[in-house]
Amino acid sequence: MAPESSSRSIEKFKKTQRPEAIPQQHQVFDKVLQMLSQNYKKRFVIKVGEHIRSIPIEEILYFYSYDKATYLHTSENRNYVIDYSVEQLESLVDPELFFRVNRKYMIAMNSFEDIISYSNSRLKIELLHSDDQDVIVAREKVKEFKNWLDG
């Protein structure tokens, strides 16, 4: 169903409700409308020396923060500095494509070689093209991460 027709359907439903309908119901529908109309970034523009390059989202394996900067890492095993924090990226990229596993990393579905059960009910992720051995899914995100993997 196209977002426009969904929007019209939700608006029509809201108008037909009785005045005593629960106010939270309208908030839920507003949230659904917002989710349907969300536009996520399809590419990131980065600067390489004097050159400007556009990196399609499909080429990005993961985003990470290091030494007060945020980087994107591509399938070509290249790192580029970007002008967003990992926190800002959470609302800019499609949550079906990327998952924030901890404060430092936001990964794509195709970005890892292996997932290993780790101490205290956590998971350790071995990322492609990465020497970082400490990519650990935060304990409070393990269940959500497994749901994300499951689709």
Among residues 102, 103, 114, the alpha carbon closest in space to that of 149 is found at: 114
Residues 96 and 134 reside in one and the same domain: yes
Same domain for 57 and 127? yes
Q: Which amino acid is at 109?
A: M
Q: Judge if 18 and 73 occupy the same domain.
A: no
User: Do both 14 and 74 map to the same domain?
Assistant: no
Tell me how far apart the alpha carbons of residues 105 and 142 are, in angstroms, rounded to a whole number. Answer: 14
In tens, the pLDDT along 101-116 reads: 999 999 999 999 999 9
- Measuring CA to CA, how many Å separate 94 from each of 31, 66, 125, 135? 16, 22, 20, 21
Q: For residue 79, give the nearest of 124, 51, 48, 42 by alpha carbon.
A: 48
pTM value is: 0.73
Number of compact structural domains in the chain? 2
What does the pLDDT read at residue 62? 96
What pLDDT digit, counting tens, does each position of 86-105 carry? 999 999 999 999 999 999 99
d(CA 142, CA 86): 18
Do both 56 and 9 map to the same domain? no
Phi-psi region of 68 (alpha: psi -120 to 50; beta: other; left: phi over 0): left
Q: Give Cα 73 distance to the centre of its chain.
A: 15
> What is the domain extent for residue 26?
3-36
8 A C-beta contact, residue 75 and residue 61: yes
Q: How far apart (Å, rounded) are the C-alpha atoms in residues 53 and 59?
A: 13
Provide the greatest CA pair distance for the chain: 61
